[in-house]
Amino acid sequence: MTETVIGFDFGGTWLRAAEVGRDGSILWDERRSPARDYPKDLEIVRGLVERRSDDVVAAAVASPGPLDFHTGEVMRAANLQWLNQFPGRDIGEMLGVPTVVENDADVAALAEATYGAGRDADVLVYYGIGTGVGSGVVVNRAIFHGSLDPEFGHQILEPGSDRRCTAGHRGCLEALISGGSLVRVFGSVEAVPAEEWCEIVPHYLGQALANAALFLSPRVIVLGGGVIDHRPDIVPPAIREMEIMLEGFVPRPRVMISELGKEVGILGAAAAAWKIYAEDAASR
């Protein structure tokens, strides 16, 4: 029997859906611009899945957060102007299959641990460095949620800094190295000075890698997101910073750049859907 799942990747630019096979093969892939109005966006989703086959057994939604995985509530998706919505429940009713909603950085971590740069890693940490900084932790191929969700992107590195993230933290990782924060400080990505890219950003990224290693001792740390796509040259000096900071401590994790690029959300949602399908089958 051929079974498939549907992965949804929702963001400020696109609402995207794809039907995906067990091996991560994409059977079809559709996207539309969001209406930024929840009921209208659900109608757009209905159009996206018109091509679905009869083989679909589960689905998962990669959504911007913050959200509560345990209840499925997306508290605030600012780019979509959604407040306190339950897209997993609503799309599950539309499709008639078990459907779960997960944070987009969490599914990126799951995608890399299932199909990407960390395929053999039992413990994997993902940093998505773009407009903000998202994080995901995967342990034995399952997303680690904790009581709500770990937020490595908001670890405080410089409490005395005058740079703040959009949540108002002083000197957190997102305030120091995210694309959004660098644009707020320097006016544009092009205006970010060389010293910032060559020394300051790698220093803080190295500190974030070392902290992840000290807290969780992951086998692999994967780096993705727009800032890494734009300046992959920040990664080698960040790894050197991490190695200096970890001298004499835990084994150093392998640090890798995301292998899945723009497919990370769809494939991560698919991996999450396969997981709930397996859990659902086990409970029957």
CB neighbourhood size of 109 (10 A): 31
State yes or no: residue 172 binds Zn ion (CB under 5 A): yes
Backbone phi, then psi, for 194, in 5-degree steps?
A: -60, -40
Residue pair 275/142 in contact by the 8 Å Cβ criterion: yes
Select from 165, 205, 227, 272 the one that contacts Zn ion (CB under 5 A). 165
Choices 67-75, 111-119, 172-180, 210-218 (CB under 5 A): range interacting with Zn ion: 172-180
d(C-alpha 96, C-alpha 104), whole Å: 23
Residue 77 CB, nearest approach to Zn ion (Å) = 18
Residue 181 CB, nearest approach to Zn ion (Å) = 9
Residue 52 CB, nearest approach to Zn ion (Å) = 39
Question: Which residues in the 133-162 window bind Zn ion by CB under 5 A?
Answer: 154
CB neighbourhood size of 266 (10 A): 27
Measured between alpha carbons, how far apart are the two ends of the chain, in Å?
A: 19
Token pair belonging to 101? 């909603």
User: What is the three-class DSSP state of 5?
Assistant: strand
Of 163 and 275, which has the nearer Cβ to Zn ion?
Answer: 163
State yes or no: residue 105 binds Zn ion (CB under 5 A): no
Question: Which residues in the 173-232 window bind Zn ion by CB under 5 A?
Answer: 174
State yes or no: residue 170 binds Zn ion (CB under 5 A): no
Choices 68-76, 80-88, 169-177, 231-239 (CB under 5 A): range interacting with Zn ion: 169-177
Beta partners for 133?
A: 129
Of 166 and 217, which has the nearer Cβ to Zn ion?
Answer: 166
# residues contacting Zn ion (CB under 5 A): 6
Backbone phi, then psi, for 219, in 5-degree steps?
A: -75, -40
d(C-alpha 175, C-alpha 236), whole Å: 21
State yes or no: residue 169 binds Zn ion (CB under 5 A): yes
Residue 205 CB, nearest approach to Zn ion (Å) = 15
Residue 64 CB, nearest approach to Zn ion (Å) = 15
